[in-house]
Amino acid sequence: MIHLNPVMSDPNTQKKTKYIFVTGGVVSSLGKGICASSLGVLLKSQGYSVTIQKFDPYLNLDPGTMSPYQHGEVFVTDDGCETDLDLGHYERFIDQSLSRLNNITSGMVYWNVLNKERDGEYLGNTVQIIPHVTNEIKERIEAPLREQHFDVIITEIGGTIGDIESLPFVEAIRQFQFNHKADCVHIHLTLVPYLTTSGEFKTKPTQHSVKELRSIGIQPEIIICRSLMPLTKDIKQKIALFCDVDQRGVISAMDVESIYDVPLVLENEELDKVVCEELGLEIRPGDLDMWKKYVQGLHDPTAKVIKIALVGKYVGLNDCYISVVESLRHAAVENGAKVEIEWVNSEDIEKDTAQTYLDGVCGVLIPGGFGERGFEGKIAAAKYAREKNIPMLGLCLGMHVLSVEYARNVIGIKHAQSGEFKDKATDKIIDIMPGQRGAKKGGTMRLGAYPCKVKPKTVLHKAYQQAEISERHRHRFEFNNKYRKGFEENGMVFSGTSPDDKLVEVMELPDKHFYLACQFHPEFKSRPGKAHPLFREFVAAAKHFSGVQQSLPYES
C-alpha cells in the first residue's frame, strides 16, 4: 500500500496551488499528454513552478506488465516507477524529473482502498466508490505537494469522457473543485473534424462531448479543438455559444509537423493567458527563446539527413520506442542533422539477410525489449554493423544482443546465449540477476536510477565528462561476469560498471567508429535542447560516417 506524507505547506510564503484538469472527448489519442505538457512549458516559461500527473483508469497497478502492443512504451522514473508514456512527454517538455506520485491507476486506487478495508480503517462502514474511492483519488490530486510546493498542478485524466472506467476520476475532480472553486480550471480536448467534401468543420462531436462532461457536473472553461487546420472565427463562436464557454476559451490546435511545435501554437492562441485569467494568476512575460531555438533547429531545411536503422520487434507501432525516437531527434538537432528512421523488424532479417535491411544506413540502434522472438535477427544486425563498422548503439536488451554476438562470432563461444531465452544453455553470456529467479512479474525488475562508475579515456567518458553517472534501469538480466576476462582479452572495454564493480553497465569497442552498448535506458533522460550524451555522440558518429568512406579512421 502506498502511504502518503502530509501535504507540505510553506508557512513563509503561504503560496496557494492552482489545479488544472485535462480531459478528452470524442476519440482517444488526440494528444492530451502533449497539450498538458505544452501548457506546462508555457506556465513554466512565465516563471510558475509546475508539475504534471496522469490518472489512468485501467485496473493494472502500473503498465509494467502490459504488452507494448497494447500500451506503447513503459516509461521509468528515477525512483523506479513503471509509468505511462505520457510521463516521458511531461519530463521532456517541462524538463523536470517526476516520481511515483505523478502516475496513478484505478488499480492502485482500489488496491489502497481494499488494503485500508482489511486494516479496519473504515471503522465498520460499507466501502463504496463514493466516497471511499473518490476520496482516495482526491488525496492523490494533491500528492505532489507532499514533497514540495508547486504553483500549478496539471492533472490529465486518461481515457475519453463517457467511458465507464474514468467515471470515479471525473467525479473526484468534480468534488475537488467544489472545495477549491477559485483554484481550478477544466480543459477539455476534443476533435473538430473537417469534411473535405463539403469543405466545412463539424462541431457536433464537440458539443456532444461537452454535454456528456456537463452531465457529470463539469463545465469546462477551455476547449482545445484538434483539427486539420486552424478553426475559423465563426466556428469558434459556434463552439463557444453551444458549449457555454468564453470565445477566448476556444483554442484551435491544428495538426503540426512536430509535437514540439504545439507549445508555440497554443501560445499563439493565448492558452496560457486564458488559463492565468481563469485561475487569477498574474500574466507574466514568458521566455520561450530556448524552445523556439530548438524548434528552429528541428525544422532547419539545411540539416543533413542521416538514416538510422532501429532494429526491433515492435516496429509497427512507433509508440513502443517513443523515448528512443525522441532522443534521436534531440541528438539530431544538436548535431545539425535530421534523423530518418529506418524501421527494421528483426524477424524479417531472420528470413533474409541483414544486408537487405541495413545497406546504406549510417547508424544501427538496437533498443530494449523482452522475449525471444526476433532475437536472432538482432544478432545478425549487430554482426553486420560490427563487421561493416557502422556506428551502433545497443540499449538494455540491445547490450545483451551485442554481447552474445561478440561471444559467438569474435571470441568463438559457439553456443553463447542469453539466459532469458535458454535457461539451460551452457554459455549464458547474459544471466538472470541473483534474487530474480522465479520473481513475480509485476514491479520486480531492477528498476529506476542506479549509479555507474565511468572509466577514464573511453567513449563513455568522452560523452559524459563525468567520473560517475546515474541512469535508469528496467531489466532482470545482466552480463555474466564469468565472461568478462575473455571479452577484455578480445578487445572489449567495460567502460561503465556499478560502483562496486560487480555489474557491467556499459561496454564499447574503442577501435570502431562508434560501438557502445549500455545496460540502462539513456532514452529516459534526453530532453529537447539537452540531448543525452550517448545519443549525441552516436548521432555525431553516424553523421560523420555518412560523409566518409567506411574504411577511413573515425576522428571526432
Catalytic residue ranges: 396, 521, 523
Binding-site member from 31, 144, 363, 369 for ligand GLN (CB under 6 A): 369
* Cβ distance to ligand GLN smaller for residue 87 or 104: 87
Which helix (H) or strand (E) is 342 found in, with range? Answer: strand 337-345
Map the footprint of ligand GLN across residues 402-441, applying CB under 6 A: 420
3-state SS, residue 354? helix
Contacts of 324 (CB under 8 A, 6+ apart): 310, 365, 367, 395, 523
* Cβ distance to ligand GLN smaller for residue 370 or 554: 370
Map the footprint of ligand GLN across residues 207-236, applying CB under 6 A: none
Q: Does 370 bind ligand GLN (CB under 6 A)?
A: yes
* Cβ distance to ligand GLN smaller for residue 57 or 368: 368
Binding-site member from 57, 159, 168, 368 for ligand GLN (CB under 6 A): 368
Map the footprint of ligand GLN across residues 486-505, applying CB under 6 A: none
Contact between 367 and 312 (Cβ < 8 Å): yes
Q: How far is the CB of 393 from ligand GLN (least distance, A)?
A: 13
Could you tell me the end-to-end alpha-carbon distance of the chain, in angstroms, rounded to an integer? Answer: 51
In 84-216, beta strands by DSSP E: 103-105, 152-157, 184-191, 194-195, 200-201
Q: How far is the CB of 108 from ligand GLN (least distance, A)?
A: 22
Burial class (CB in 10 A: 0-12, 13-18, 19+), 307: middle
* Cβ distance to ligand GLN smaller for residue 158 or 368: 368
Write down the residue that cell numbers 529516459 correspond to. Answer: 524
Q: How far is the CB of 70 from ligand GLN (least distance, A)?
A: 17
DSSP string computed for 243-255: HT--GGGEEEEE-
Q: Does 476 bind ligand GLN (CB under 6 A)?
A: yes
Torsion, Cα 170 105 9 13, to 10 degrees, reads: -70
Q: How far is the CB of 369 from ligand GLN (least distance, A)?
A: 5
Residue type, 402: L
3-state SS, residue 524? helix
- Between CA 100 and CA 202 the distance in angstroms is 40
Binding-site member from 32, 71, 408, 474 for ligand GLN (CB under 6 A): 474
* Cβ distance to ligand GLN smaller for residue 278 or 420: 420
Which stretch, 87-95, 254-262, 475-483, 529-537, contacts ligand GLN (CB under 6 A)?
475-483
Distances (CA, A) of 394 to 82, 115, 300, 518, 538: 21, 41, 28, 6, 10
* Cβ distance to ligand GLN smaller for residue 155 or 526: 526
Q: Does 396 bind ligand GLN (CB under 6 A)?
A: yes
Binding residues with ligand GLN: total (CB under 6 A):
10
Distances (CA, A) of 371 to 185, 403, 414, 419, 522: 44, 16, 21, 11, 21
Q: How far is the CB of 546 from ligand GLN (least distance, A)?
A: 27
List of residues contacting ligand GLN (CB under 6 A) = 368-370, 396-397, 420, 474-477
